[in-house]
Amino acid sequence: MLQACATTTGGAGSAQTPPSVMQGPKARTASYLGGGALPDGLLLSPPPPAAGSAAEARDKEGAAAALALRGSARWDLAKADADLRPAHAAAAFSCSAGLTIDQAHTPALVRLLSRAMGDLGGSTGEVKKRYMRPRPFMENGQPMCTPDWDKVLRRDGSYPSGHSAIGYGFGLILAEVMPDRAAKLVARGRAMGDSRRICNVHWLSDIEEGRVIASASVMRLNADPAFAADLAAARKEVAALRGKPSETALDCAQEAAALAQ
């Protein structure tokens, strides 16, 4: 039985994680598509909520609700989810996948997600540059879960969320690998995006638009031959592992409790 998933604090996802981790997709394993082949984010995403609008009020309500979770298990999980080193982000889906996702057990799956991360992470870039929306911590003056990233995040637009695009995109891709666990995997990807609201670094609408862009990006990835080949390899690898005992040092019950908050 799988016994674990990434919910610990003070590790790779802690506030000590350097800003380069957050920006890492630009410098990691080559992506599948490259910037020019990504869906047009400016066509997909409308402008962020206008000042004084009902949508902006909803964003502020979501940010206020997140502040109440500071110091909770959900806050700790949000800190862990902030770490976008590919192997760490992939491992965050181990509980929802029902097997250990790491380089030792699932190298093909980690490769698939690592390459896709470059596309998913880059998919929000043009929209961010267009609007340069201030982040919640810049407006409410409250702490974020990764204070070491303060300077970097102030220079990076809030809308839409690249973390949300990566998390939700990973959930969608993993659902293609393990369709019988699709609901659990996509829900974990959604929660990974919402971790950015919990961290006080993204508004709710940032996270929602990240999911929209991720959905279009995954559809585009499915038309890429290299992605299709890696997807097939990951499916074969996972099929050989299904039903075998899988143990790690982390606690899936702990993650489930945190996500329920």
Active site residues: 163, 196, 202, 206
Please state at what angle helix 162-177 crosses helix 107-122, rounded to 10 degrees. 140
Q: Could you tell me if 80 and 13 are in contact, meaning their C-beta atoms sit under 8 angstroms apart?
A: yes
Residue burial 118-154, b: 16+ Cβ < 10 Å; e: rest: bbbbbbbbebbeebebebbbeeeeeebbbeebeeebe
Cα separation values, 226 from 2, 37, 83, 255, Å: 31, 14, 26, 33
Q: Could you tell me if 116 and 221 are in contact, meaning their C-beta atoms sit under 8 angstroms apart?
A: yes
Which residues, including other chains, have CB under 8 Å from residue 49's CB and lie 6 or more apart? 55, 56, 58, 59, 203, 205
- How crowded is residue 65: how many other Cβ atoms within 10 Å of its Cβ? 12
From CA 8, how far away is CA 88, in angstroms rounded? 12
Structure-block tokens of residue 46: 């409308």
